[in-house]
Amino acid sequence: MRTVKAYSISTESIQKERDRVGGDPSKVDVSRVIELDDLELRELGPSDVHMRILAASAEHNVDHAATADTVNIAEARGGKMFPGNSALGEVLAVGDRVTRFAPGDIVITHCNGDPDAYGYPLRIWAYDQPDSLGWYGEEAVVGDWQLLKAPLDCGLNLWEIAALPLRAPTAYHMWRRAIGIYRVKVTREQRATVNVLGFGGGVSELFLMLAKSEGHNAFFCAGSPARREALEKLGIEGIDQKAFNRFAGKDDLKAFSKEVKQRTDGEGMHIVCDMLRGPVFAAGFAAAARQGVNVSSGWQLAQAVDYNTTIASVKQLTLDHTHYETIVGCAPATELYGRVFKPTIHHEVYDFHDLPRCFQEMYENIQTGIPILRVAKDMPASVQKLIP
């Protein structure tokens, strides 16, 4: 049995921080909730892979877990969880039934924790999947079904590759669903080019890269100028969300709808990606073109939405809810690293010991791109040339 350092979130650390801030969620300091802990690795089973984590991306679900804003997932997991469901690692050893990987391989994870009969996840790894241990740690033992070979020659650097294991399959799945649903209603013969809108965030950025790569008009409505600029370089038009007060009032919504109409020759958005909900949902709903599709797999600002079903019916709108890609679908999503997915990385690559601060900065929304954690100090020769 081997013990390694890994981060955990516990009901005690959540409660301690809640007590400190008098129960005010806006004052929670996430860095006080996530703690460096000891994790005992299980013995290597015949279908297991033992890997050393080299780098990981920070994922928003950790902030949800630390603030317990949607559900107290640490409590649901028995009082403690080890988070981290996106990682890039080096294989150290494999069980005797593993044929797809060998020591020295560089691998990425997916977080489909428990596929249903059709491959869709019932639960997510290192979140609500019972007994799943996450990858914000020095080493891990995982089933080989949870890994894919990292596409080291895709043209991205190591941090960019590490940004994608969770967000790329999410975006890939949402895009194929949204365009597929739209095509049930409006054929390619009738309209080749559609207008696609995404709101701030890493998944939306990748979703828009997919839309753009297939020749569609793509629009990114975000508050961060740095993230808008990065997408503008790829031909994705930026819309400043703060110019519309993040849709705080009715007038802001009206002004946003007018802007969308102007930018789309009066047509509106055929496809909208909304990972945030809250006030963003109303803006996406108002921006929708006839036969539009609004797709989401996130609820960062609110879990419930409210909309006028008469308007939705008359406009033939579809709201689609997704969770994460099937295991099979994670492979084609990975094929698009570098070709389509060119993620924007936050300017600081965080050291493993700065992980708590990284999550607090994510919570404060002050990062300029997807945040990356460098877990291993010494990197294998196979990835040295990919480190910028």
Interface positions with ligand NAP (CB under 6 A): 60-61, 64, 166-167, 170, 200-204, 222-224, 227, 241, 246, 275-276, 280, 297-298, 300-301, 323-324, 362, 365, 370
- Of 58, 263, 254, 259, residue with least CA distance to 162: 58
Q: How far is the CB of 130 from ligand NAP (least distance, A)?
A: 18
The smaller minimum CB distance to ligand NAP, of residues 172 and 352, is found at: 172
The smaller minimum CB distance to ligand NAP, of residues 192 and 226, is found at: 226
Q: How far is the CB of 153 from ligand NAP (least distance, A)?
A: 26
Give dist(CA 357, CA 63) in Å, integer: 11
The smaller minimum CB distance to ligand NAP, of residues 137 and 284, is found at: 284
- Of 229, 218, 237, 212, residue with least CA distance to 336: 212
The smaller minimum CB distance to ligand NAP, of residues 324 and 341, is found at: 324
The smaller minimum CB distance to ligand NAP, of residues 60 and 270, is found at: 60
Give dist(CA 369, CA 350) in Å, integer: 13
Q: How far is the CB of 239 from ligand NAP (least distance, A)?
A: 10
Q: How far is the CB of 208 from ligand NAP (least distance, A)?
A: 11
Q: How far is the CB of 251 from ligand NAP (least distance, A)?
A: 17
Q: How far is the CB of 375 from ligand NAP (least distance, A)?
A: 19
Q: Which distant-in-sequence residues (6+ apart) come within 8 Å of 313 by Cβ?
A: none
The smaller minimum CB distance to ligand NAP, of residues 98 and 147, is found at: 147
The smaller minimum CB distance to ligand NAP, of residues 100 and 321, is found at: 321
Other Cβ atoms less than 10 A from the Cβ of 320: the count is 16
Calculate ∠ Cα 26-27-29, nearest 5°.
115
Tell me the two tokens of residue 354.
């700065």
**Gyration radius of the chain's alpha carbons:** 21
Handedness of CA 159, 163, 164, 168 (dihedral sign): negative
β partners of residue 381: none
Q: How far is the CB of 201 from ligand NAP (least distance, A)?
A: 3
Place of tokens 């099979």: 328
The smaller minimum CB distance to ligand NAP, of residues 166 and 373, is found at: 166
Q: How far is the CB of 287 from ligand NAP (least distance, A)?
A: 15
Other Cβ atoms less than 10 A from the Cβ of 89: the count is 27
Q: Which distant-in-sequence residues (6+ apart) come within 8 Å of 5 by Cβ?
A: 36, 37, 38, 39, 137, 138
Evaluate whether 166 touches 134 at the Cβ level (below 8 Å): no
Give dist(CA 71, CA 56) in Å, integer: 24
End-to-end Cα distance, the chain? 36
Evaluate whether 287 touches 263 at the Cβ level (below 8 Å): no
The smaller minimum CB distance to ligand NAP, of residues 59 and 90, is found at: 59
- Of 53, 120, 117, 130, residue with least CA distance to 90: 53
- Of 185, 172, 176, 218, residue with least CA distance to 330: 172
Q: How far is the CB of 192 from ligand NAP (least distance, A)?
A: 28
The smaller minimum CB distance to ligand NAP, of residues 83 and 91, is found at: 83
